[in-house]
Amino acid sequence: MLFTYVHHKEYSNTSWDVAHLYEHLVTHAFQSYLNSLNIYPGLIGHVSGDTFEHIVFLNATFYNKQVADAYERFLATSILVDIPSIAQILLEIEAEEKVTFTIRDKAKFDEQLRSITTEPWISNDSLASRFVDETAAPEIVLRAKRTAEEFRDGVVGIYADVDDLDNDEQTLFLRVCHERDRG
């Protein structure tokens, strides 16, 4: 049985870059949460996010009820932002976006991160379509500088003799191949 979820969180007092960082911090925090429960994140299913103007989405699919229940508990709690992870997550986003970031105003950056963290996650199960007003733009607190020459594309070949893999290893192999194909 598969357990699927789509949640979103609206933000209006946060710039897009800070919301995107928050999206990555939440998925990272969930993986850490699973580790604290002695559940290996690579075999549980899939959690991803997307950030648009004024809305952050989380999409999740799990293979078992234990992990689905853990996800629901996780989203119901106040997700604490792991401050030491911010530098690492910014590096991931820099590679994803091929830009470098500089925090222009640390106090406003912290304020925006706190603001989006306190907004609740809303399940999309019973949500109707609605209009989002994009005219109110918060102050940009991260400066992005295009630096594509600092990032190189690479190709990683992944091979395995699936006949020699047990079920967990096959699941992990397919998961890694799926992530590679998503690029």
pLDDT tens per residue, range 43-98: 788 899 999 878 999 999 998 888 999 999 998 886 667 777 888 999 998 888 88
Mean pLDDT, to the nearest integer, of 144-160?
Answer: 63
Structure token digits, residue 109: 């950056």
* Spatial separation of the C-alpha atoms in residues 16 and 35, rounded to whole Å: 29
Question: Looking at the predicted structure, is the pLDDT value of residue 128 above 60?
Answer: no
Amino acid sitting at position 153: D
* Spatial separation of the C-alpha atoms in residues 141 and 138, rounded to whole Å: 9
Amino acid sitting at position 150: E
**Assigned architecture for domain 3-152:** 2-Layer Sandwich (3.30)
Mean pLDDT, to the nearest integer, of 122-132?
Answer: 62
Question: Looking at the predicted structure, is the pLDDT value of residue 42 above 60?
Answer: yes
Question: Looking at the predicted structure, is the pLDDT value of residue 114 above 70?
Answer: yes
Structure-model confidence comparison of residues 179 and 44, the more confident one: 44
Q: Are 40 and 167 in contact (CB under 8 A)?
A: no
* Spatial separation of the C-alpha atoms in residues 8 and 127, rounded to whole Å: 10
Helix/strand/coil percent split, the chain, to 5? 45, 20, 35
* Residue 124, pLDDT score: 80
DSSP β-bridge partners for residue 3: 62
* Spatial separation of the C-alpha atoms in residues 108 and 96, rounded to whole Å: 24
* Residue 123, pLDDT score: 85
Structure token digits, residue 64: 């078992």
The model's pTM: 0.70
Domain ranges within the chain, ordered by starting residue: 3-152, 156-183
**pLDDT above 70 covers what percent of the chain?**
72
Question: Looking at the predicted structure, is the pLDDT value of residue 173 above 80?
Answer: no
